[in-house]
């Protein structure tokens, strides 16, 4: 008998303390970009108990009332009562902001550094991934995990379950066959913050019937295991229960652990930082390769040196699923896709205030016209040149 292959991915709601910080950082980036698309922003957020600290480097001509952005974002998330873990009107907000280092600035400003072209905002490697197991060309595990958290937030906002609070997490385990085809959901986990005094059986049955089954019904069978609030209670949540920090959910933000990660976070960084923009470009490349049928699974690695205008390496791995040679695929990537930082910004139109909505429920696999890195506009060209 073939051994079971089980893979899992997790997601978190926008009320999770780390995600709350991601969303605040990206809300500040959007507020600045709404006035100044040439701004340089590296904005971090931390939160604990009733306090939020915004810190980092920002160089801009814009004026933004950062405490107001913080409070508006916390309110939008749903922290409107101190019992939930923080309250938007009464929380304290500290800011510690300096300008971007001039040594870094000259390397990412066209004509200012050692090279005439705009260079990368940092060194590092960025990964993009795509596979054909879902319509989103994403791993099924992370797609379902995100949809569960989105459903959890939707039901909370609509009062479809009247005892839910903003903090929450999901995790989905899928069984695959030996060829990597998803077969069934083996285990589904949701931990959701809730009002006090609610019977555990009520919480479990409501979550299973109104959230888990509508999202995962096509993958559930009689042996699927459900775990709802497996500690037994989740009343204390938000920053009161757990400190939050920007950039601590990088696997949630990307591919759920299916595929590699270069280590750089996204939120709060303007797209001159290749941590963000090159990761988007790598997803764009991988998705078009899979959508064009050149491979059924693809991972793209891009690597950069700070201040240098070209990637120092480009690697494409199709895990043996390629329909043409890997050398030919690499040639098509270099020919048809943006790889220089300036070209990525231009072709993906990244200098816009579009980032707050990326901060929760994944940066990839979402059907939103502002997520330009999700376009599959190169597929016909790739098919033609590949002879498919």
Q: Mark whether 340 is an active-site residue.
A: no
Q: Mark whether 19 is an active-site residue.
A: yes
Q: Mark whether 44 is an active-site residue.
A: yes
**Alpha carbon distance, N-terminus to C-terminus of the chain:** 37
Q: Of residues 71, 151, 165, 269, which has the active-site annotation? A: 269
357 and 284 Cβ atoms separated by less than 8 Å: no
Q: Of residues 10, 14, 18, 206, which has the active-site annotation? A: 18
Cα–Cα dist 240/262, whole Å: 31
Cα–Cα dist 119/107, whole Å: 6
Q: Of residues 10, 14, 19, 165, which has the active-site annotation? A: 19
Rg for the chain, CA atoms, rounded: 22
Q: Of residues 57, 72, 83, 343, which has the active-site annotation? A: 57
Q: Mark whether 248 is an active-site residue.
A: yes
Q: Of residues 10, 22, 186, 275, which has the active-site annotation? A: 275
**Residue 370 DSSP label:** T
Q: Mark whether 242 is an active-site residue.
A: yes
Q: Mark whether 269 is an active-site residue.
A: yes
Length of the chain in terms of residues written:
388
Q: Of residues 10, 14, 44, 122, which has the active-site annotation? A: 44
Residue 286 CA to its chain's centroid (Å): 16
Q: Of residues 40, 147, 151, 249, which has the active-site annotation? A: 249
220 and 185 Cβ atoms separated by less than 8 Å: yes
Q: Of residues 156, 169, 276, 356, which has the active-site annotation? A: 169
The SS3 of residue 168 is strand
Cα–Cα dist 278/63, whole Å: 28
Q: Of residues 88, 129, 234, 371, which has the active-site annotation? A: 234
Q: Of residues 62, 243, 305, 342, which has the active-site annotation? A: 243
100 and 117 Cβ atoms separated by less than 8 Å: no
Q: Of residues 165, 273, 297, 378, which has the active-site annotation? A: 273
Q: Mark whether 146 is an active-site residue.
A: no
Q: Of residues 16, 165, 297, 363, which has the active-site annotation? A: 16
Q: Mark whether 283 is an active-site residue.
A: no
Q: Of residues 72, 83, 87, 242, which has the active-site annotation? A: 242
Q: Of residues 40, 146, 248, 287, which has the active-site annotation? A: 248
Helix 66-77 and helix 17-33, axial crossing angle in degrees, nearest 10: 130
Helix 326-336 and helix 274-291, axial crossing angle in degrees, nearest 10: 120
Active-site residue set: 16, 18-19, 44, 57, 169, 234, 242-243, 248-249, 269, 273, 275
């Amino acid at each position: 008998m073939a051994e079971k292959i089980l893979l899992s991915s997790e997601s978190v709601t926008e009320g999770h303390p780390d995600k709350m910080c991601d969303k605040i950082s990206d809300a500040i980036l959007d507020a600045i970009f709404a006035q100044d698309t040439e701004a340089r922003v590296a904005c971090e957020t931390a939160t604990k108990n009733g306090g939020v600290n915004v810190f980092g480097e920002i160089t801009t001509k814009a004026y933004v009332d950062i405490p107001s952005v913080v409070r508006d974002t916390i309110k939008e998330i749903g922290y409107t009562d101190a019992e939930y873990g923080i309250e938007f009107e009464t929380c304290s907000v500290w800011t510690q902001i300096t300008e971007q280092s001039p040594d870094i600035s000259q390397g990412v400003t066209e004509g200012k550094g050692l090279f005439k072209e705009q260079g990368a905002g940092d060194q590092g490697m960025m990964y993009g991934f795509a596979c054909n197991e879902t319509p989103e060309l994403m791993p099924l595990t992370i797609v379902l995990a995100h949809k569960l958290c989105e459903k959890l937030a939707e039901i909370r906002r609509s009062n479809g379950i009247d005892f839910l609070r903003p903090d929450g997490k999901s995790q989905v385990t899928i069984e695959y066959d030996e060829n990597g085809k998803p077969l069934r959901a083996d285990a589904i986990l949701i931990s959701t913050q809730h009002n006090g005094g609610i019977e555990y059986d009520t919480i479990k049955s409501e979550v299973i019937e109104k959230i888990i089954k509508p999202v995962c019904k096509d993958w559930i069978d009689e042996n699927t295991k459900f775990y709802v609030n497996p500690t037994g209670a989740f009343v204390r949540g938000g920053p009161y229960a757990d400190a939050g920090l920007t950039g601590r959910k990088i696997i949630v933000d990307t591919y759920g652990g299916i595929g590699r990660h270069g280590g750089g976070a996204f939120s709060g960084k303007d797209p001159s930082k290749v941590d963000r923009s090159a990761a988007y470009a790598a997803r764009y490349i991988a998705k078009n390769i899979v959508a064009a049928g050149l491979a059924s699974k693809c991972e793209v690695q891009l690597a950069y040196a700070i201040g240098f205008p070209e990637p120092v390496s480009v690697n494409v791995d199709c895990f043996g699923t390629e329909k043409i040679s890997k050398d030919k695929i690499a040639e098509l990537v270099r020919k048809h896709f943006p790889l220089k930082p300036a070209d990525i910004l231009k072709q993906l139109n990244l200098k816009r205030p579009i980032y707050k909505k990326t901060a929760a429920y994944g940066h990839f696999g979402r059907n939103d016209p502002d997520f330009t890195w999700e376009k599959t506009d190169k597929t016909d060209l790739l098919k033609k040149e590949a002879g498919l």
